[in-house]
Structure 1
Amino acid sequence: MQKIDVEDLITLVRNYNPRTNEDLIRRAYDYGERMHEGQFRKSGEPYFTHPVAVAAILTEMRLDDATIVTALLHDTIEDTRSTYQEVSQMFGADVAELVNGVTKLTNLQLSSSETKQAENFRKLFMAMSKDLRVILVKLADRLHNMRTIKSMRPDKQAQKARETMEIYAPLAGRMGMQWMREELEDLAFRVLNPEGRNSIIRRFITLQRETGDVIQKITQDIRHELEEAGIDADVFGRAKKPYGIWRKMQEKGQGFSRLSDIYGFRVITRNEADCYRVLGAIHHRWRAVPGRFKDYISQPKSNGYRSIHTTVSGRDGKRVEVQIRTRQMHEVAEAGVAAHWSYRDGVRAENPFAVDPAKWLASLTERFANAEDHDEFLENVKLEMYADQVFCFSPKGDVVKLPKGATPLDFAYAIHTRIGDSCVGAKVDGVRVPLWTRLKNGQSVEIMTAEGQRPQATWIDIVVTGRAKGAIRRSLREEDRERYIKLGRELARVAFENVGRKSTDKALQTAAKTLGLDDAAEVLARLGSAEIRATDVVQAIYPDLVRDTGDEIDVERAVIGISADQHFTISPCCQPVPGERIVGITYRGRGVIVHAIDCPALAAYEEQPERWVDLHWQSGKHPAIYSVTLNVTIRNDAGVLGRICTLIGDQKANISDMHFADRKHDFYRLLIDVELRDAEHLHTVLTALEAESDVAAIERLRDASRKA
């Protein structure tokens, strides 16, 4: 790639900001080039080509001088002899703070373990809360790195692509920068699933050859309708990105040939009134598809996005999505929250639809403030970042914004935790509905409450918002704390006895300190509620005892038939254990997934014999680490659950997780994850439990919905 020289860069800025401080940009360019002298990218190009390219990307968003200068200097403090003090002295405290913020983000390993990832998400949002321009530079940095990713090692490409798909692309979308989200997703898709992407492109080429230029034809149809109605507007059409089509195929379980809405059209009007006139003209000509209309003009998204979305059955019955908005709305739709800093003719653009980034961030981070632990925070962030929104009304007419798929319970908790906790029912548009009903745009929701009502354990599976899940968990944790502590104590006793130790208060206190929990009671409560595993508690104090397997077979060599350069994963859908017949399915970048030979999931690969691998277990003694889920129905009586746990422990099997699937007055149904050595060990545990009089029914649970 040829480096953009300083005069070309200044020209790019001057095109939208004639009053730009050219001297500042020249000095930053010269300083950055000097600091990076002698450094090269993996491709062999001078390193400084990268900061300049990042700055050029930001000029497309018409950003201010401070952001452009930050892009030129964003790697100087991290990778050169430059210092914060020097940057501050030469370019001002504002630029130095921005460069330092980008440096801190660069050091975050966002694709590491879940706990670490959650903590890094906290840091990412803290950086955003100080100045959102830090994230804009980081997103442009990631975009250029993804555009030039081919020069990296394949394993690094995969890591960066996953990180982009999981974090940076959704973040760009949440900020309203849809064009950047789509490009980041597609660049990551190119790395993670090149065959899938190429197949979409090939189908597009075939479709175009068969039907001609559909986009041009439909664009002309829309323009004709607008001319007939006397509406002055611009019309643009495009095919959706390969990843967007792939995602729709996965979500709907449909093949390409059955997927109809693969084309998108935008109509840019002169004023807001014309938006609704355009909508009328389009619906007059083509039949609207039910359930696919959204009015984000009357109910804007929190990031300032405004537009009317409708899907119609267009030419030859093909579904097409049409977005209708004004020029100012379009600028916000393209730039998102970055529109706050964009310039036109040397002055900050006064766009009435651009949101105040400080207010947007406050509304975003407020929802994460009550997250008590890493997992809860991570769940909140991911749910919020990926969420599409629906808008519902309270009986007083207040608008409540919720993610797509939200229920009346989510609505109740969005109003107030107290309302959610005491909810006993809901009416939607005046009709009583179950609490698990999925809400739709424009519905009116009335929540009914009762004094003394408490959240139910089943509510966790009903709600989708992080706020509701966190509030329910806190309430259940408080209400069931004593019961969980009692159960946790029994689980801890069995786990410690398995390694020849005693579960004393001092041992549990030590485990609490190692696990970062408050005290021994908290360890037992989380153990009893299946938030942590008994093996984690034992390993926190006696790591050598948990890892010591004596003459047992090395886990990494437990399966024969795997080549030296491959790794394997046991499929959670069928949970095969040593002693059972197995087969492997290969995945690019994921090695081999091991299935039981009778697993129903294998039917999906019948026409792909090249992916099958003949496998069998290593003969000998295997460690008790292979998880099997048992579906157990027990009598609801004092001490029964403790006896069941003890009985499993007596068979030298460890309970790694436990979930109450059903609670009735006279019985409980439990899903218990047990770690076993092999098929014989499983048979021993099942036989022992079947012989117990308090066990009404027991079976091994295999769940096809669980995927590796």
Structure 2
Amino acid sequence: MTAATHPAPEDTSALPPYVVALKERLAYLPEQQVARVVRAYQVGAVAHEGQTRKSGEPYITHPIAVAGILAEFGMDAETIIAAILHDTLEDTALTRVELAGEFGEPVAELVDGVTKLDKMRFSSRQEADAESFRKMLLAMARDLRVILIKLADRLHNMRTLGAKDPESRRRIARETLEIYAPIAQRLGMNKIKAELQDLGFRGLHPDRYRVISERIRAALGNRREAMGRIEGALTSRLVEERIPVRVVGRIKSPWSIYSKMRSEHKSFAQLMDVYGFRVVTDAAMSCYMALGVVHALYKPVDRRFKDFIAIPKANGYQSLHTVLLGPFGAPIEVQIRTEEMDSVAERGVAAHWAYKTESGPANSAQARAREWLSALADSQANTPSAAEFIENVKIDLFPDETYLFTPRGDILSLPRNATALDFAYAVHTDVGDHAVAARVDKKLLPLRTRLESGQQVEIITAPSAVPNPAWLEFVVTGKARTAIRQYLKHLQHEDAVDFGHRMLDRALDALGTSLDAIQPAALEKFLHKSKLKRLEELLADIALGNRMPDQVASQLVASRGTPSGRGAPVTHPTEKIHITGAERGVLSFANCCHPLPGDEIVGYLSPGKGIVVHRTECPNMAELRKSSPERCVDIEWDRDVQGDYRAELRIEVMNRPGVLATVAAAIAAADSNIENVEYVERDMAAATLLFTIEVKNRKHLAEVIRRVRRTGVVSGAYRYPL
């Protein structure tokens, strides 16, 4: 069946009522484009012939309803046509080639994109199939219209959710609340977001939805007179000042009430005891004039004014927000914006789409969405793990913005609780990588400092500064996390290649040969057999514990043939591998025994983690030697050891006021940093404290213990475990 074999009938008067209604909504499009939309209906109706929805209606009514939702937003003809045909590739015999031939490649591309999204199933945001979610966000990056069709499709499905069984209703409702409503919000589409949230709430918690909806209706009935008086007072005063306005009363939705009751621990009465109004005028200057008028009419509440016109939200939303003390003792929330801002607030990226040419300016929501999606595309290119990518996106999907100023006066928007280091990475990756401190409102502060809206931030950099793993503990933005992890992975790879080389050389030396003695052809054959592209990958695999150096060495020697006729090569005693402590990319230090420079040590190759360093006398190491002797590596400290190392001190003290401060002061006086302290045992006379501290080596630890014992309040101090 091809689109071409079903020519369009000339008489469209016999069209079903729902198609006639769609044509009326498309009055903003030229007649020729409307005719193409009708043609799309005819092709779709034939393709879906015989198919019905769960409700029993002909299936074609669903894609027509989706197209109608998009027509309300003034979308272009290609989007409307793609919406009508969005299920044809998956559910009918129509092919992509036929679609492209009849309606053009852009429509076929959109339908193909939506079809791929339709195959995705999420049980929740936390459990979302990460790879599918990544594909959805990248489809958005290629063409925003794909996700607009998907959102409209989801909205109509939610409106007709009653036909589904209870379990499906709950699954789809949860998915809507946790995946699709946040995406609509991030794209500035507040009208769709609000309806998706309320329909999702009704599907997931029908009883709670019913109770809250009934209480909202009852409360509004009691407040209608007061709402009318406030609206009249606002309108008449603004008209007196010759400001062109329309004033609209705002009603909180059931989902809004429910989510605030949970997150802010407020009662229903507290949340409903607020009057909400929207003042819509003609220009930005009129907004500020209207603000002055309403502040003169009712007293403003201190610190409750927000200017989202000068500093728009991340999704392009613009408005002035203020809270006033009303005539009935209840606060009045007022939003003031222009008609253009109101359209963008309701429709976001979909506002004025049909009139926007490729060269024409996009609205603020469209421009900001493109910036966000462009950043997403960059992030995913640098993030091989889909789960890690989604972790970063979730932060961006649920922002509670903090607005900050650069020294030049530029504005950056970051999520709540963002730090100075997040700001540094928001300016540029290079600035973040070399950041050492921040000047916040001209005061020098550390990079972990949490920032607040309105602060001016300047980042201080140093060429020698580089990211370290501790940074991941306090950054909150996806961009910062991705950049830090990418640097650490690169560093780990370099360390792993170097360390793996040393381990393989040692294993080959034990067999009386070396890596240089292995023929290139034999090495190439081994790499190919092991599905590795380069020698560096093999060396990194060895260092990270994914391959055993002794086994690799034996296989390489076997591949070139053994010189002696006795099958196995002769082994030689080898030197231990020296470590400096700087190989943190592939080395970690066991928490069970806390090895320090100066201790006798041994390594254990942990798969994917690299070498875990233990003290030789560690009880756990005895078990590992029995169970996995091939994973044990002979290592020792190099003369040139770097860095600080964690140690634990068990200190027995007299239980009296100030003793903890006395011991802490003694540790600090020995140039040691305290990471943690806890009481292990405590009674009226004595107490046992366990300090986690940082020291350079065994000698440094001995100095700390000496100073602690001299305090006069300590009855015993020793390294733990012994």
The verdict on a shared fold, with TM-score over 0.5 as the criterion, is yes
In the alignment, structure 1 residue 34 sits paired with structure 2 residue 37: no
Separation in structure 1 between the aligned mates of residue 21 and residue 382 of structure 2, nearest angstrom: 48
Aligned counterpart in structure 1 of residue 21 of structure 2, from 2, 5, 8? 8
Going from structure 1 to structure 2, the CA distance change for 1:668 and 1:401 (only over 3 Å counts) comes to: closer
The equivalent position to 1:473 in structure 2, one of 482, 485, 496, is 485
Q: Tell me which amino acid in the other structure corresponds to 1:108.
A: M
Corresponding residue for 1:322? 334
**Cα drift, residue 88 of structure 1:** 1.8
Between 1:195-204 and 1:440-449, the stretch displaced more is 195-204
What is the 5 A alignment of 1:613-628? none
Matching residue of 2:596: 637
> Does structure 1 conserve the Cα–Cα contact (< 8 Å) formed by 2:314 and 2:401?
no
The amino acid across from 1:7 in the alignment is V
| Alignment map for 1:261-276 (pairs within 5 Å) | 263-276=275-288
Q: Residues 429, 3 of structure 1: CA spacing in aligned structure 2 closer, same or farther, 3 A cutoff? A: farther
Q: For 1:526 and 1:295, how far apart are their aligned partners in 2?
A: 55
More divergent stretch after superposition (381-390 vs 292-301): 292-301
Q: Deviations over 1:355-413 (max 9, x none)?
A: 35756632453344422322220012111122143331111223222223322111011
Q: CA deviation at 1:647?
A: 7.3
Q: Distance in 1 between matches of 2:354 and 2:284?
A: 22
Percent of aligned pairs with the same amino acid: 42
For residue 585 of structure 1, what is the aligned residue in structure 2? none
Matched, 1:416 2:428: yes
Letter in 2 for 1:277: M
Letter in 2 for 1:271: A
Q: Select the residue among 593, 601, 620 that pairs with 1:646.
A: 620
How far apart are 1:351 and its partner, in Å?
A: 7.4
In 2: Cα distance, 1:424 partner to 1:189 partner: 46
2:438 to 420, 423, 426: 426
1:637 is matched by which residue type in structure 2?
A: L
Amino acid at match of 2:437: G
Matches within 5 A, 1:543-582: none
Give the letter for the 1:8 counterpart.
Answer: A
From 220, 223, 228, give the equivalent of 1:216: 228
Q: Tell me if structure 2 keeps the 8 A contact 1:390–1:402.
A: yes
Match of 1:426, SS state, is strand
**Alpha-carbon distance in structure 2 between the residues aligned to 1:405 and 1:67:** 39
Tell me which of 441, 445, 450 is aligned to 2:453.
441
Amino acid at match of 1:28: A
CA distance in 1, matches of 2:529, 2:179: 35
- Range 639-648 or range 147-156, more displaced: 639-648
Q: Pick closer, same or farther for the CA change 1:272–1:189 going to 2, 3 Å.
A: same
* Conserved 8 A contact 1:636-1:666: no
Q: Deviations over 1:113-133 (max 9, x none)?
A: 979722222211332233221
| Alignment-mate amino acid for residue 596 of structure 2 | D
Q: How does 1:77-476 map to 2 (within 5 A)?
A: 77-111=89-123, 117-208=129-220, 211-212=223-224, 214-259=226-271, 263-343=275-355, 353=364, 355-356=366-367, 361-476=373-488
- 1:82-119 CA-to-partner distances (Å, cap 9, x unmatched) read 11122222222222222122111111234489797222
Whole-angstrom CA distance in 1 between matches of 2:364 and 2:488: 42
1:293–1:309 contact (8 Å) kept in structure 2: yes
Would the alpha carbon gap of residues 521 and 100 (structure 1) be closer, same or farther in structure 2, given more than 3 Å must change? same
| SS state at 2:323 partner | strand
One-letter code aligned to 1:149? L
Q: In structure 1, how many angstroms separate the alpha carbons of the residues matched to 2:163 and 2:411?
A: 49
CA contact (8 A) 2:496 2:543 kept: yes
Residues 422 and 137 of structure 1: CA distance in aligned 2, closer, same or farther (over 3 Å)? same
Could you list the per-position Cα deviations for residues 246-288 of structure 1 after superposition, in whole angstroms to 9, with x for gaps in the alignment?
2222322333233367654221111111011112222333344
CA 460–318 in structure 1, closer or farther in 2 if over 3 Å, else same: farther
Structure 1 residue 444, shift from structure 2 partner: 0.8
- Displacement of 1:315 after TM fit? 4.2
- Change in CA separation of 1:368 and 1:384 when aligned onto 2, cut-off 3 Å: farther
Amino acid at match of 1:414: A
**Alignment CA distance shift 1:460-1:321 (3 Å):** farther
Distance of aligned partners of 1:372 and 1:354 in 2 relative to their CA distance in 1, 3 Å threshold: closer
Change (3 A) 1:232 1:511: farther
C-alpha RMSD over aligned residues: 4.3
Give the whole-Å Cα distance in 2 for the aligned partners of 1:298 and 1:126: 31
CA apart distance, 1:328: 1.6
> Partners in 2 of 1:524 and 1:257 — Cα distance?
62
Equivalence map 1:491-640=2 (5 Å): 521=540, 637=596
358 and 478 in structure 1: CA distance in 2 versus 1, 3 angstrom threshold: closer
The answer to whether the 8 A contact 1:633-1:695 is kept is: no
What amino acid maps onto 1:391 in structure 2? Answer: Y
Whether the 8 Å CA contact 1:455–1:472 is kept in 2: the answer is yes
Q: Helix, strand or coil for the counterpart of 1:21?
A: helix
Q: 1:153 Cα deviation (Å)?
A: 2.2
Distance in 2 between the 1:317 and 1:524 partners? 70
2: CA distance, partners of 1:384 / 1:363: 11
Letter in 2 for 1:355: Q
Change beyond 3 A, Cα 1:112–1:231: closer
Q: Secondary structure in 1 aligned to 2:132?
A: helix
* Residue type of the alignment partner of 1:392: L
The one-letter code sitting in structure 2 at the alignment partner of 1:118 is A
Distance 2:61 2:674 in 1: 68
TM-score (norm. length: structure 1): 0.67
For 2:168 and 2:498, locate their aligned partners in 1 and report how far apart those are by CA, in whole Å.
Answer: 46
Q: Is the 8 A contact 2:22 2:68 kept in 1?
A: yes
Residues 197/411 of structure 1: CA separation in 2 closer, same or farther (3 Å cut): same
Letter in structure 2 aligned against 1:12: R
Q: Is the 8 A contact 1:296 1:307 kept in 2?
A: yes
SS of the residue 2:460 aligns to: strand
Q: 1:668 to 1:304 in 2, by over 3 A?
A: closer
- Structure 1: gaps of 5 or more residues: 489-508, 528-631, 654-659, 672-692, 698-708
Structure 2's unaligned 5+ residue stretches are: 1-14, 501-527, 547-590, 602-611, 628-643, 649-671, 679-717
Q: CA contact under 8 A between 1:392 and 1:441: conserved in structure 2?
A: yes
Amino acid at match of 2:344: V
Distance 2:677 2:531 in 1: 27
Q: Please state how far the C-alpha of 1:299 moved relative to its aligned partner.
A: 2.4
Q: Is the 8 A contact 1:341 1:348 kept in 2?
A: no
Aligned equivalents of 1:270 and 1:285: distance in 2? 21
Alignment CA distance shift 1:68-1:480 (3 Å)? closer
Amino acid corresponding to residue 183 of structure 1 in structure 2:
E
Mapped to 1, the partners of 2:277 and 2:42 lie a distance apart of 43
| Displacement of 1:164 | 1.3
Deviations 1:280-325, CA, capped at 9 Å, x for gaps: 2223333444544332222234544322223334343433432211
In 1, the alpha carbon distance for the partners of 2:545 and 2:156 equals 44
TM-score (norm 2): 0.66
- Measured in 1, the distance between the counterparts of 2:593 and 2:224 equals 65
Listed one character per residue, the Cα deviations across residues 212-236 of structure 1 (whole Å, up to 9, x for unaligned) are 5554343233224323433221111
